[in-house]
Amino acid sequence: MNEELKKMLDSINAKKQEVKDLCKAGKIEDAATAKEELKKLQAQFDLVYDLDVTKTEGMGEKAAAGAAKTIADKAKNIAGAFVNAIKAAVGKGELSTEDKEILNSMNEGKDEDGGLTVPKDIKTAIKELRRSEDALETLVNVEPVKTLSGSRVIERYADQTPFDNIDEAAEFPDVSTPQFEKVDYKVKKKGGILKITQELLDDTAENIISYLKKWIAKKAKATRNFLIVAKIREITADAEVAVDSLDDLKKIFNILLDPAIALTAGVVTNQDGYNWLDSLKDKDGKYILQPDSTKPTSTLLFGKYPIKKVSNRTMPSKTTDGGYKVPIVCGDLKEAITIFDRETLTIDISSSAGKLWETDQTGIKVRERLDIKAIDEEAIVMAEHTIKTTTDVQQTAAQSAAEETKTYTQAEIEKMSRENIIALGTKLGYTMTTTASDEKSAVVADFMAQQTAAQRAAGNRRFKGRCNYD
């Protein structure tokens, strides 16, 4: 292999490692971008390899390249055999001996549900598709399991106490040991039926696989989002924290969350919550949300806490009398929640069940198994901000309008403090000449004079309006 090809191969290996590192760091968007760059590097390498490698040079490398091609062909054959099995199930063909051998070698024993096991390569592609930008799965801990039930021992709430002073030759005292809790899981069956037309079954294996992957990924993502939101609501039930200002939000990260959790904390909210956060400004009039330099499409709260925005349908706001409460989840969901994923996908196919035969459709029943558990309930805090409905806003506006047209008596004004009198005058648009440091009697007189002047000016405007015959 010449030097150019070696350099290109080094670049490919470096890019592969970059993709893996980004995935481990949870930077899915950056990982996807790096993966596309990897594909381009690989394509470039293949072209140069085919053009420049001679028959006498690098036979070992050629053999390796041949092995890679064999792997790719095997994956293609598996996908083809999988599609052929689907077609055979509805009488659209027969499985060849080769297809049967491929399917038998692919399965690691029978799944508890039976049916046709989805090949590993297709499952991997589905997993990548469901972990999209609006997927909450990327924020929680996901643990693959091989059994239908089991348990894990989790360490939490460990006392952090220092060592004691010990005299020479004295016995060492016992120190507090970490506190462990047992978490049991039992994976539950999740699934649904995809109805496809006979025309689709007549299509190419690639198109059928593409359709299946997108549909399963979409449903799997929706399932996980629903379970995660439900678990968040369960953990934070009756412990929601009302927030109306920046100080309220800061208190959550500074006091309510453990400092160790706050270091890795983020924010999850819906469209309503994000809109409110995006409207907040500091004392200098600058918006609080800032762009994330590592992710141009993402934003940070207080310059440090990444924000995950999901749709209102995924995480609905709670309707209340006079408005609705928007959810703003603060903390580290990886510490709070774990999904125990059986990581198996099976399908059953039928064209005769129900009304499928009457509608000339084929039903594909898809199953997967998982469980979701709360691990550390103190790792997240549910903040809620109340937003008034349009009706309430209109009522408030009507009250303000009533205040503006109200004529205040001197007795009413004298009951107020000097500060409140000045504030009321400012609100009504009066040009107050006195301040809170002046005598109250002077402030009262100033307000009454301003009120009289405003009423006289308003009367003149109405008179002119009535006498305007032009």
Residue 162 is assigned to a structural domain of this protein: no
Taking the C-alpha atoms of residue 183 and residue 189, their distance in angstroms, rounded to an integer, is: 19
With CA atoms as reference, report the closest residue to 22 among 41, 35, 37, 11: 35
Type of residue at 96: S
pLDDT tens digits along 395-411:
555 555 555 668 889 98
pLDDT at res. 159: 44
Tell me the mean pLDDT in the region 111-132. Answer: 77
Where is the domain boundary, 370, 396, 422? 396
Is the model's pLDDT at 21 over the cut of 60? yes
CATH of the domain at 418: 1.10.720
Number of structural domains the chain divides into: 2
Q: 273 and 146: one domain?
A: yes
The CA-CA-CA angle for residues 282, 285, 291, to 5°, reads 70
- Model confidence band, residue 104 (pLDDT cutoffs 50, 70, 90): low
Q: 344 and 380: one domain?
A: yes
Is the model's pLDDT at 464 over the cut of 80? no
pLDDT tens digits along 420-460:
888 888 888 888 888 877 888 999 999 999 998 888 887 76
The two structure tokens encoding residue 184: 């049991």
- Residue-averaged pLDDT of the chain: 80
Q: 192 and 220: one domain?
A: yes
Q: 325 and 435: one domain?
A: no
With CA atoms as reference, report the closest residue to 339 among 360, 368, 311: 368
Look at the block and give the residue holding tokens 């009504």: 428
The residue with greater pLDDT, 326 or 119, is 326
Is the model's pLDDT at 127 over the cut of 80? yes
Tell me the mean pLDDT in the region 192-202. Answer: 80
pLDDT tens digits along 316-331:
999 888 789 999 999 9
With a pLDDT cut of 90, the percent of the chain lying above it is 29
- Model confidence band, residue 393 (pLDDT cutoffs 50, 70, 90): very low
Where is the domain boundary, 368, 396, 424? 396
pLDDT at res. 16: 79
Backbone dihedral angles phi then psi of residue 299, each to the nearest 5 degrees: -130, 160
Look at the block and give the residue holding tokens 């036979």: 59
pLDDT tens digits along 258-308:
998 999 999 999 999 999 999 998 888 889 999 888 887 789 999 999 999
The residue with greater pLDDT, 352 or 361, is 361
Residue 185 is assigned to a structural domain of this protein: yes
The two structure tokens encoding residue 355: 């009304």
Q: 255 and 339: one domain?
A: yes
Give the distance, in angstroms, between the CA of residue 469 and the centroid of all CA atoms in the same chain. Answer: 64
Taking the C-alpha atoms of residue 26 and residue 138, their distance in angstroms, rounded to an integer, is: 7
Type of residue at 324: Y
Look at the block and give the residue holding tokens 């409140």: 420
CA-to-CA dists, residue 31 to 17, 126, 306, angstroms: 10, 16, 17
The secondary structure element, H or E, covering residue 418 is helix 418-427
pLDDT at res. 23: 78
- For residues 370-399, one letter each, b for 16 or more C-beta atoms within 10 angstroms of the residue's C-beta and e for the rest, the string is bbbbebbebbbbbbbbbbeeeeeeeeeeee
The secondary structure element, H or E, covering residue 37 is helix 28-52
Is the model's pLDDT at 1 over the cut of 70? no
CA-to-CA dists, residue 319 to 111, 213, 245, 354, 390, angstroms: 43, 36, 20, 39, 13
Tell me the mean pLDDT in the region 54-67. Answer: 46
User: Residue 386 belongs to what domain range?
Assistant: 111-155+178-396
Q: 392 and 416: one domain?
A: no
The residue with greater pLDDT, 420 or 198, is 420
Query: Helix-strand-coil percent breakdown of the chain, rounded to 5?
Result: 50, 20, 30
User: What is the DSSP-derived secondary structure letter of residue 253?
Assistant: I
Residue 31 is assigned to a structural domain of this protein: no
Residue 145 is assigned to a structural domain of this protein: yes
Residue 81 is assigned to a structural domain of this protein: no
In sequence order, which residues have a C-beta less than 8 Å from that of residue 108 and are 6 or more positions away? none
Is the model's pLDDT at 64 over the cut of 70? no
CATH of the domain at 249: 3.90.1690.10
Taking the C-alpha atoms of residue 49 and residue 67, their distance in angstroms, rounded to an integer, is: 15
- Model confidence band, residue 332 (pLDDT cutoffs 50, 70, 90): very high
pLDDT at res. 54: 42
CA count, 13 A, side-chain hemisphere, 244: 4
pLDDT at res. 57: 43
The residue with greater pLDDT, 9 or 343, is 343
pLDDT at res. 62: 46
The residue with greater pLDDT, 96 or 159, is 96
pTM (predicted TM-score): 0.63
Q: 390 and 413: one domain?
A: no
pLDDT tens digits along 36-47:
887 787 777 767
- Model confidence band, residue 69 (pLDDT cutoffs 50, 70, 90): very low
